[in-house]
A and B are shown apart, each in its own frame.
Chain A
Amino acid sequence: MKLGAAELKREREERRRGFFLALPSFAYMLLFFALPLVIVLIYSFATRTSTGSTALSDWNLDAYRKLGEPIVRNVVVRSVVLAVITTVICLVVAYPFAWFCAHQRPTVRNVLLIAVMIPFWTNFLVRNYAWRILLSKGGPISTFTEAIGLGEVDILFTKTAVVIGLVYAYLPFMILPLYASIDRLDRRLIEAGRDLYGSGPQTFRRIILPLTMPGVIAGSILVFVPSMGAYVTPELLGGGKETMLGSYIVTQFLTARNWPVGASLSFVLMTVMLISTVIYFRSGGRNL
């Protein structure tokens, strides 16, 4: 049906009003997100001069070529491995907890979900320092294991410490989307699976897991992405020995003063994350 002139006018007006309301956030994102991103992109094609400054005249792909060098590759591999381990541990720990939450009375469930978010009330840096004390030689954990005869535990400044710290930091980001998708799962589908001769594990694999996959993927992205780029935790709990991408990028900008390499690495990292997120949305997830 054709719209009348008055209707068209009304529709145009409403669209315009919506645009004006969104304008402040558009402007903010443009100025503080899109623009800096473009600057980073531009710098990644620039050249580092011998004095450590950046020449914005000689455009080339040298910085991207450097990403293939063994040092960078090691950092990338280590980051991916630690991020994957962190994601898997988070998933394994969070799934049963989210399941438990979703099956409680509303009051209990709210208390549990608030408990998940309580750590956010304390500064992230402070919490990392707390882990340093917990994990250090002669610290509470070490004292405990010694007391029960397992001997001293010295895991501070190891990969284990970094993973512990990352799991601790990002676990809530896994729990919440998992909880949301488990809560949305129709219980009768589980009953139908059991009624149709599915054992517990079979029903989990064929029904529950596929139907909560949006939560699994959303949670995994929310844990994997920041773990890859983590800076504070690897620095404080890895003692700088276990350099991950985040630290490496910071070093390139601040210490090595090689902005093009820092910029190109940032950009590649971001692109990879963006692509994986897009793939997730394309695959039908709506859970973020």
Chain B
Amino acid sequence: MNEITESQNQRSAAVSLRGISKFFDDVTAVDSVDLDIGDSEFFALLGPSGCGKTTTLRMIAGLEIPSAGSLQIFGEEVGSLPPNKRPVNTVFQNYALFPHMSVADNVAFGLKMRKIPKSEISTRVHEAISLVRMTGMEDRRPNQLSGGQQQRVALARALVNRPKVLLLDEPLAALDLKLRQEMQFELKQLQREVGITFVFVTHDQEEALALSDRIGVMNDGRLLQVGTPEEMYDAPIDRFVADFIGRSNFLNGTLESAEVVCLANGQRIRVPEVDAVSIGDEVQVSLRPERVMIGDLDSAPHDSAQLSGTVDTETFLGNSVVYRVALDWMTIEVEADHRPDVERYHAGDRVDLWWRDDAVAVVRP
């Protein structure tokens, strides 16, 4: 499986997975995943629930033992080590704070277990608590804290140990929208501040795009593609990826040559060069709604692809309008800016559509 795009040239790998699989009875939760996560990288494992992302994270943490493959953390094979013998810490979903301990005792727990001298423990606990801006709350119990505060304590409890890799399992899922946006920002800042590799699991594509240096998209236990947020959005190689990150239209066709796809209606369009599929393969062309221009063919550059159809429905979204345009062989969604200088169309209008050759991506169907 060398379909994974190694986008950035890796610094030394913090976490390295080779052919990692996990089977539960007869269910394959994770299917032969190869992945390198760089030092001090903010990496997101993105996918729908049940795609194996959490199981992958738990294998890195040591909470699950891989059924097959090799798992290294900074070059050291850790596949079968118990969690307490690994230089990683986890921020659990719903935080899993110890309810019978104060905030300070929660944060101190890892250091106490490692028999760090008392004086050092209290300095480091103090530092960690102030890092997450919870000073003054040391004596509270977890059940006296709000969701956001619990989240901070969970972060402090993990970071105080100075792990080589911090794992976060859906760290923001339990927070309400406003708090989540705030914490996103803080999390990103925190990661820059401490310079530790963060690996986080999420099903929220916006969160993944906003936070991470690189994203790995998983589905059905397989890692489909790895890349920077821009690469994942602009150049998905798999239909699932294009569909999961953002919205897209999918035009059926056949790859005729490295840069030409023959669409299902017989029309030939130019596409960016791809290597994930081979010539002659059935492919789909992923076309983002906001990259399709609507109206006036005169302004279209001569190297653009063109289609025409009839507006079927229009949905007003405030800053934009989404048109469903019926072609004679399929329907595609087009998103146009809503501005005084952009012409507005209505159901039944005959419209021309066009897009630049580099606005599309060819994906595996």
**Do B82 and A211 touch across chains, with their CB atoms under 8 A apart?**
no
A256 interface residue per 8 A CB criterion: no
Beyond A191-B63, A191-B83, whether A196 also contacts B113 by CB under 8 A is yes
A195 interface residue per 8 A CB criterion: yes
Beyond A196-B161, A199-B84, whether A191 also contacts B96 by CB under 8 A is yes
Closest to A192 in B: B96
A197 interface residue per 8 A CB criterion: yes
Beyond A206-B109, A211-B99, A211-B100, whether A197 also contacts B114 by CB under 8 A is yes
Segment 76-124 of A: residues with Cβ below 8 Å from B: none
A285 interface residue per 8 A CB criterion: no
Tell me the minimal C-beta distance from A168 to chain B in angstroms: 33
Tell me the minimal C-beta distance from B298 to chain A in angstroms: 62
B89 interface residue per 8 A CB criterion: yes
Having A186-B96, A191-B83, one finds 20 other A-B pairs with CB under 8 Å, namely A189-B98, A189-B99, A191-B92, A191-B96, A192-B90, A193-B109, A194-B62, A194-B84, A195-B61, A195-B62, A195-B83, A195-B84, A195-B89, A196-B84, A196-B89, A196-B161, A197-B161, A198-B113, A202-B113, A211-B100
Beyond A197-B84, A197-B161, whether A192 also contacts B98 by CB under 8 A is yes
Cα separation A100 to B84 with both chains bound (whole Å) = 23
Q: Interface SS of chain A: helix, strand, loop or mixed?
A: helix
User: How many B residues are at the interface, by size bracket?
Assistant: 20 to 34
Question: Measuring CB to CB, which residues of chain A are less than 8 angstroms from any residue of chain B?
Answer: 186, 188-189, 191-199, 202, 206-207, 210-211
Tell me the minimal C-beta distance from B60 to chain A in angstroms: 11
Segment 146-173 of B: residues with Cβ below 8 Å from A: 157-158, 161
| Nearest 3 pairs of A and B residues by beta carbon | A196-B110, A188-B96, A197-B113
- Residue-wise interface mask of B (50-92) relative to A, using a CB-CB cutoff of 8 A (1 in contact, 0 not): 0000000000011100000000000000000011100011101
Tell me the minimal C-beta distance from B27 to chain A in angstroms: 16
Tell me the minimal C-beta distance from A207 to chain B in angstroms: 6
B94 interface residue per 8 A CB criterion: yes
**Do A188 and B84 touch across chains, with their CB atoms under 8 A apart?**
no
Cα separation A189 to B83 with both chains bound (whole Å) = 13
Query: Of A194, A197, A210, A211, which contacts B63 at CB under 8 A?
Result: A194
Closest to A196 in B: B110
Closest to B88 in A: A195
Q: Which residues of B contact A186 (CB under 8 A)?
A: 96
Cα separation A191 to B83 with both chains bound (whole Å) = 8
Cα separation A121 to B93 with both chains bound (whole Å) = 45
Q: Which residues of B contact A211 (CB under 8 A)?
A: 99-100
